[in-house]
Every structure is written in structure tokens, then in C-alpha cells.
Amino acid sequence: SAVISQKPSRDICQRGTSLTIQCQVDSQVTMMFWYRQQPGQSLTLIATANQGSEATYESGFVIDKFPISRPNLTFSTLTVSNMSPEDSSIYLCSVWIGYEQFFGPGTRLTVL
Amino acid sequence: ELKVEQNPLFLSMQEGKNYTIYCNYSTTSDRLYWYRQDPGKSLESLFVLLSNGAVKQEGRLMASLDTKARLSTLHITAAVHDLSATYFCAVDASGSRLTFGEGTQLTVNP
């Protein structure tokens, strides 16, 4: 399995500001994934973060809005830029260990 | 585009009863996952199904996969209150990128 931590666990932010979410894994992994879970909804993949290359974004998500860093094999950040109330969600990072995908505890973001 | 559909989306059942949650998906895949999510919590991995005909059981939950029918089931036997949660199925059909179903919110009543 994997131990994944995220910071912050929750935050309340003002419209127009940005928030950077950190994800730390206890083992080296090639890919890290960022998901969004809007209130009462399922999970949607935002992007895949690869160490040493640009992140790969899913349809409907762009780098200007969700810039991602991946400085090493155990760490990644996701920034939610120029936030609006529609960005209020839980943001989760995840990794694959073998055939199983493990999720971090999530960052609960509220935008006022 | 891969679509993953669960039904029912909401399930209220009495303790001691049995029920099945269904997960249909629209494209070929032989990797399907079931997760549990408690309110305000992250996702907990329940089952990893990696081949046609795979069946796995843990306690009162049993999951199966029929890749030809593109169908997975999560069967609940003799439900107890502690099973109340939201259950998601997810399909890996494009190289490690999971597509999730809408989730089934299960409430088990005394």
C-alpha cells in the first residue's frame, strides 16, 4: 500500500485568489494523479503528473487554471488559480502501487 | 469516451437484507475497482478485479466482473449499519486513468 498525505486538509478562500495543494507519498512513483470531487458528485480526473515532464490534462481542464508541479518522485503540487465558488470541491491526489490505486485524504476547498 | 454507470444511485435497505449494486461500462476493459467513501473521508479500496470472471469477497461484500457483458456487481449480504457509505466503481480503460461511476449512496437502517 501507500501512505499519502495532503496539505492543507481544508481551506476557505476568497474569490480570485489561488491555493496550492501539496501531496506527499511515502514511496517513489512514476505518476501521480489529481482528482476533483465536487459536492455530492463522483471523482473526475484533472491531470496526470509525471516527474520530469509536463503534466497531462484531461478534457475540460487547463494548465493556466490548474498548474501542477512534480519536482521529484514522491511529491506534487496542484494550484487552483483565480478561484471562483464553482471550484469548491474536494481535491485528491492518488498513486498506483501495483494494480491498485490509493488516494490521499483530500483537501476540502471552499471558495466564497 | 468511456462511460461508467452505477445503479441504483441511492439505496436504503434494512439490516439483515441482501442487495446488489450494478456497474456497467461502455468500453472494453478487464480492470475494475470498487471503492468505499464515508462522509467527509477519502476513498478506501475494497476490491480489485483484473480478469473476466473474477470474484472477490470480504466480509459481507462480494464483487464480480463480467468483461463480456461489461458489468460488475457488488453484492451485499445481511447488511449491517456499518456498511452505510457511498460505493464507487471505477474502470481503467486507458492506461492507469480511472473513470468513476456516479456512486451509490447506501443507507442501512436498523
Could you read off the pLDDT of A68-99 as tens digits, one per residue?
A: 999 999 999 999 999 999 999 999 999 999 98
Inform me whether the C-beta atom of residue B25 falls under 8 Å from chain A C-beta atoms.
Answer: no
Return d(Cα A62, Cα A11) in angstroms, integer.
22
DSSP labels, A14-69: -TT--EEEEEEESS--SEEEEEEE-TT--EEEEEEEETTS--EEPTT--TTTS-EE
Cis? peptide before B8, omega within 30° of 0: yes
Average pLDDT score, chain A: 96
For B7-19, the pLDDT digits (tens) are: 999 999 999 999 9
Check pLDDT > 90 for residue B56. Answer: yes
Q: How many CB pairs under 8 A join A and B?
A: 45
pLDDT of amino acid B95: 73
Nearest chain A residue (CA) to B88: A42
Average pLDDT along chain B: 94
Cβ distance of B45 and A105 shorter than 8 Å: no
Whether A73 has its CB under 8 Å from any CB of chain B: the answer is no
Binding-face residues of B in 59-88 toward A, CB within 8 A: 88
Position B82: which residue type? D
